[in-house]
Every structure is written in C-alpha cells, then in structure tokens.
Amino acid sequence: MLKRYLGLFLIAIVVIISFLAPLIIKHNPLSQKFPSFKTPTINHPFGTDELGRDLFSRVVHGVRSSLVNALFAVSLALLAGLIVGMVSGYYGGFVDSVLMRIVDIFLAFPYILGAIVLMVVLKQSSFSVSVAIAAFLWASFARLYRASVLEVKEKDYVKAAIAMGAGDLRIMTRHILPNSVATLIVYATLGVGSAILAEAVLSFVGLGLQHPAPSLGLILSDAVNYLDRAPQMMWFPGFFLIILVLGFIMCGDGLNEYIRS
C-alpha cells in the first residue's frame, strides 16, 4: 500500500508542476534572450542552456509533453490490446490462433527498437511518436488480456448468459469486460512509465520531437555535449524523468499487490 501511495505522490507532484506551468513559469521555453550556461539562480532555478533558454521552463514543458505523449500512446495500445485480447480469448479456435501469431510477431521485437524503426518511416511529430510506441506496445496488452478473458469466460454467470441466448457483444461488454479489465489497467499504469522512457529515447536519438520543441530526451541529448561545462543540463531533466517513470512503476506495482491481496 505504501508503494502505491508513494507512486501516486510522485506522479501528482510532477503532474501538478507540469500542468500549472503557465502560472509558475516566468520565461518562454523557446526564448534565447539570456546568457548561455547560466548557473541556477532565483530567476533561473535550473540555469540556462547553451542557447540561453531557461532550463526550468524547458524541463517543465518537456515533462508535460512526455506525459501527454505517453498517455496517448498507452491509450491507443490499451484499446487495441483490449479488442484483440477480447476477440481472441472469447472466440478461441482458428481466430485465437491467427490473432496470437500476429501478437507473437510484434512481441518478437523489443518495442523501443520497433518504435525506432517505425519512426524512420513516419513523419517526425508528437503524434507519430505516440503511434510508433503504441504500435509495438499493444501486443503485450493483448496477450495479457486474453488470459484474463479465458479465465472469466469459464465463470458460471457467463455460461448462464450464453444459455439464456445473450448475444456475443452483450456477453463481452456486460459480463466479461467489467470482470477482467482490472489486470489490464494495472499493466497499463506500468506501461505509461515505459512509454515515457521510450519517448525520451526516441527524442534522444533524434527520431522523436525535433528542435526547438521542449522535450526531456532532446534536453538530455544536448546536455551530453556540455557535461563538463554545465552538468545541471543533465541533472534536472534526468531527475524529473526518473521521478516520473519511477512514480508510474511504483503505482502499478502497488495496484497489482492490492488486486492480488
């Protein structure tokens, strides 16, 4: 329980800071009117980067961008995985075999590597980043949800609904879905942390968001060249990235323990 609340606390802090950015940030994250490599001060809590941009405003906007992209990617993956897992587990037989072989193909690729390959083809944008992550994340959701559907499908209330002549769609949405989706939600919470990290990796290698957009991955990529001169350029975005990912992982683990208890 402590793990769940600590994860929620970390997420809440970062989310509040990022979405209240217009109220707490004094400087435009794209403005280059300040001295370069300025050390942290009251006016610039995280200092400035190599182009004289306020690092605090860039990090906060980068956190918000990473969070929005990750939530959108996980939502797409969750929807696709839920549909495929439901159809596969409910109908079984030939349908199950075909869908699970497709899932196996996607699971054969590490999803970050698959997202990198897909981003080479897609136009580099925030939407494309989310789609690329979702394209290789949904398969694990589908596999997990199929197992839950197979378990719930054998319950007496589902068999009773079938015996009473209920249609497939009604059985899936009214009887199976509400009693099988909890595990998928827990896994989706963990997936948000992974998607945030994947978005940062894509931007770090130059395949995600592009300059001058504020992105944690881009900030970290720029900071590599100036570690000796301005180490704070690496510290602050790295710290926020760790806190954000750790928060979702701890929250997901806590929810998993709560459901199993």
Enumerate the domain spans of the chain.
Answer: 2-14+57-260
> The domain 2-14+57-260 is classified under which CATH number: 3.40.50.150, 1.20.58.1690, 1.10.3720.10, 3.40.50.720?
1.10.3720.10
**Is the Cβ–Cβ distance between 42 and 156 less than 8 Å?**
no
User: How much is the pTM?
Assistant: 0.88
Distance CA 7, CA 247 (A): 4
Give the pLDDT confidence of 42-93 residue by residue, as tens digits: 888 888 888 888 888 888 888 888 888 999 999 999 999 999 999 999 998 8
Distance CA 213, CA 220 (A): 13
Q: Is pLDDT at 159 greater than 80 in this prediction?
A: yes
What was the pLDDT predicted at 228? 83
Name the percent of the chain lying above pLDDT 70. Answer: 96
**Is the Cβ–Cβ distance between 65 and 29 less than 8 Å?**
no
Arithmetic mean of pLDDT, 12-18: 79
